[in-house]
Structure 1
């Protein structure tokens, strides 16, 4: 089904013409007392009812899909009071931009963790004939397919990526929204619907696993922080040893190096303030 544009006539102009015909017939019959005026008045009245049957109004961003005995004739998008063949059937379709917010769905993410997810879909009808003839109820079709696409999306990504470079539902909002919009465009294209925007409006772990997942997130954060601290501490120790031995200013044997490395790592990696102990005896020379 491909939309075809259909022209229509101005309903106001037709009403004025028919009203003039009826008045002229009544004038001839009542004033001039001519029988022909009666025939003209009756014909004008019949014409008036025919014209009224074919009248309809269209608001801005609204279309009328016309059909004749089950056959698609065309789509009218001219606004105001319009007129077409009175035998044409009419189905009005709104072309306005609409919002749809899905309910909160409970699904499993890529890692099998139960999560709650919801989305907001901004959509509009761009082909009225497809919306009417390709699906039974295009609004219900949008709702069902949006929830199906959201479920598919949720099972394709982890909730929170633990590895670098992995796209996650929580950490990559732009990529997730783009994927959801692409998925919806494929599902709703045959229904004459265009998705203008799709974004996640609610995302959380399911209540039964929320506490355990929070502890896992905290543990991952602690591990990542400690890994970074240790890497920085090792680099600082290497720099300290190199600076001390630069130019032969201080000579450290292996035992002193090991002790110094141990002390520096304890100081740098500790999460508490350290209290230095000054060694007044001994020698640094090997």
Structure 2
């Protein structure tokens, strides 16, 4: 009787269970999920919050973790006092000031007549009867003070408003409003008046440092068209709004590359739009409205002007040589093609090369004599 012995491999799993297949990747990391989590009796399970997965490095594969670059924070915008905004000031027509001043002057004359100190010439001019007054007493001095104060307030508050000009009124360091009206007005003489020009204005800058896309130093003269939109913020938000506008233009030129004239098509318009957008956003919080920032003259900085001039001449010379060579090659090709197609000559490879060489030398010499 023969006995057959079967050789079986030892199972990887527990006794009596199925054998686990061998791993294809030896250093693969796996996670076992409990079976009771897959078959739950709860018909309405509570939602499980999911956190964003992080892809890490797997062992043995050499794969590096993928990191997300953090977004750049937005550029901070300058802010001023939120409560500081232009509002109309309370003023009266100029007739009110004239009337108050006339009343004060008339009160002073009446008080003088009452006290009997009015000169005879004034009595004759005003056709007032002579009167023996009681002299200057406390009542007369009080009447003089009241009438004089009324006259000073009436005539001292008269002002002439002009179109395109405004006054920013300030009382003991507190903003009291803006006057944009024109004509004869009466403004409280206790208020401090600051005149500001609200017309459309343009400013032609001095040569400002800048750079092109390659980092070459430039000097740029720009024309800025602007006006004061909010007089309160322009006069009280900054020390000098014109100096602030100049600083905004210099900062924008330091961030926006400017191309020399004759560069890429549309580069000048793109630079002007970018400059206008940056300067307008920086000047808006202080009450300035910028309409356009246009580069007028662009030139190289003195320290690099000579080197860039030689570079431009060399580039123009290389471009001219390339155009001449292209023209010569086209002429030689056209000549050889015509000669062979019309059957005027029969050339082998060597003779063709010699002919091409001779024609190239001849055409180049002719181009060199005719070129300036």
Query: Normalised by the size of structure 2, how large is the TM-score?
Result: 0.58
| Cross-structure match for 1:209 | 304
Q: Is 1:232 the counterpart of 2:335 in the alignment?
A: no
Structure number, greater radius of gyration: 2
Give the distance between the partners of 1:29 and 1:134, measured in 2 at CA. Answer: 50
Shift of 1:74: 2.8
Distance in 2 (CA, whole Å) between partners of 1:230 and 1:255 is: 23
Q: Which has the higher relative contact order, 1 or 2, with Cα contacts under 8 A spaced 6 or more apart?
A: 1
1:92-121 deviation digits (Å, cap 9, x = unpaired)? 211244454444345554424333344343
SS at 2:222's partner residue? strand
SS at match of 2:308: helix
Deviations 1:183-240 (A, max 9, x none): 3222212222233443435533333433322221111111111222222333333333
Tell me what 1:10 maps to.
93
Instruction: List aligned pairs for 1:243-262, cutoff 5 A.
Output: 243-246=338-341, 248=343, 250-262=345-357
Aligned-partner Cα distance in 2 for 1:203–1:165: 14
Per-residue CA deviation, residues 35-92 of structure 1 (Å, 9 max, x unaligned), is 9xx7987654432222334333333311112345544343211123322344544322
1:71 and 1:224, CA in 2 relative to 1: closer, same or farther beyond 3 A? Answer: same
Change (3 A) 1:225 1:236: same
Q: Cα–Cα, structure 1 residues 23 and 209, in superposed 2: closer, same or farther, change >3 Å?
A: closer
Please name the residue that 1:187 is paired with. 282
Q: Which residue of 2 aligns with 1:78?
A: 181
SS in structure 2 at match of 1:64: strand
Distance 2:153 2:233 in 1: 30
Classify the secondary structure of the residue corresponding to 1:136: coil
Higher fraction of helix = 1
Q: Is the 8 A contact 2:101 2:152 kept in 1?
A: no
Q: Secondary structure at the match of 2:193?
A: strand
User: Once the 2 structures are TM-superposed, how far is the Cα of residue 159 of structure 1 from its aligned partner?
Assistant: 5.0
Conservation of the 8 A alpha-carbon contact between 2:241 and 2:286? yes
Task: For 1:253 and 1:76, locate their aligned partners in 2 and report how far apart those are by CA, in whole Å.
Answer: 95
Deviates more, 1:40-49 or 1:220-229: 40-49
What is the number of residues matched between the two proteins? 264
Q: Secondary structure at the match of 1:4?
A: coil
| Unpaired stretches in structure 1, ≥5 consecutive residues | 275-286
Alpha carbons of 1:220 and 1:57: their partners in 2 closer, same or farther (altered >3 Å)?
same
| Aligned residue in 1 for 2:165 | 62
Partner residue of 1:144 out of 247, 263, 270: 247
Cα distance between partner residues in 2 of 1:181 and 1:256: 65
1:117 touches 1:204 (CA, 8 Å); kept in 2? yes
Give the 3-state SS of the residue equivalent to 1:200 in structure 2.
strand
SS in 1 for 2:368: coil
Alignment partner, residue 265 of structure 1: 360
**Which residue is 2:234 aligned to?**
131
